[in-house]
Homo-oligomer: A and B are copies of this chain.
Amino acid sequence: MAKVDTSLVAHLPLFAGVTPEALDEILREARSARYPKNSAIFEQGADAQSFFLLLHGHVRAAKTTPTGEQIVVRYVAPGETFGLAMAIGAARYPATAIAVDDSVVLIWPTSAWPRLVERFPSLAANTLQAVGTRLQESHTRILEMSTQQVEQRVAHALLRLAKQSGKKLDQGIEIDFPISRQDIAQMTGTTLHTVSRILSGWESQGLVESGRQRIILRDPHGIVVLAERSADSGAV
């Protein structure tokens, strides 16, 4: 019952240093599932019964305060894992995961993790690397929020999204999943109003083209100028 073709995932960093046979064994413990656009994959606070590997689509991880404010923790791109609560010894998910596009994921039961890392220590090392990278990114984000103004933060956020999930078009680079002003606000610690104003400004300068949940960084102007702006206060 090899539901998943190993060749689809063998090249992922997560499985670096894992033999084909081992990979086969690892995949045998997983099942796959499809989540339609805008459906929840797991909710913050729920029992962390599974962890996930995104195969297709895009997933937004968001954290909510008791008073209802949200922030976007990250967007998950294909090939990345998410929902690794067990890796930090947490019994519950610290955030909510929503498919922002029709998405396909591999799902392992959390209970399988200890056995897997014991049999395949590379998994732990590879996961450590991924989590460490995310920690770095978090620190960069904190640095930005502390030292830069909103416009620079938005510029940097868009550039990162374009890099992570950009689709090359004739006019420029389009962010390859639906994203609202509100989402960007929640990534940069501001309000959708301010984001809207900033994007309007850029649009009238010909730096971006944007519409309903859709943003294109115009090449070359947009990308170059935004990079300058995001660097003005010395983002890394």
Contacts and interface: CB of A to CB of B under 8 A. Distances in A.
Interface of A: 63, 65-67, 69, 71, 73, 84, 87-90, 94-95, 117-118, 121, 124-125, 127-129, 131-136, 138-143, 145-147, 186, 189, 233-236
Nearest to A141: B142
Contacts of A63: 139-140, 143
Contacts of A138: 135, 138-139, 142
A147 B139 CA distance: 17
Nearest to A130: B88
A117 B136 CA distance: 21
B88 A147 contact: no
A146 B146 contact: no
Contact of A129 (B65, B73, B89): B89
Nearest to A135: B135
A84 B121 contact: no
28 contacts: A63-B139, A65-B143, A65-B233, A67-B147, A67-B233, A67-B234, A69-B146, A69-B147, A71-B143, A71-B146, A87-B128, A87-B129, A88-B133, A90-B132, A94-B139, A95-B139, A117-B121, A117-B124, A117-B125, A118-B121, A121-B121, A121-B124, A124-B128, A131-B135, A135-B135, A135-B138, A138-B139, A142-B142
Contact of A89 (B124, B132, B135, B142): B132
A1 to B, nearest CB: 29
A117 to B, nearest CB: 6
Nearest to A134: B135
Nearest to A87: B132
| For the complex of A and B, 10 pairs with smallest distance between CB atoms | A88-B132, A66-B234, A138-B138, A65-B234, A146-B189, A67-B234, A121-B121, A124-B124, A69-B147, A128-B128
Nearest to A88: B132
Given A90-B132, A127-B128, 11 more contacts: A63-B143, A65-B233, A67-B147, A67-B234, A88-B129, A94-B136, A124-B128, A138-B139, A141-B142, A145-B145, A145-B146
A69 B132 CA distance: 23
Given A73-B139, A139-B63, A233-B67, A89 B145 contact: no
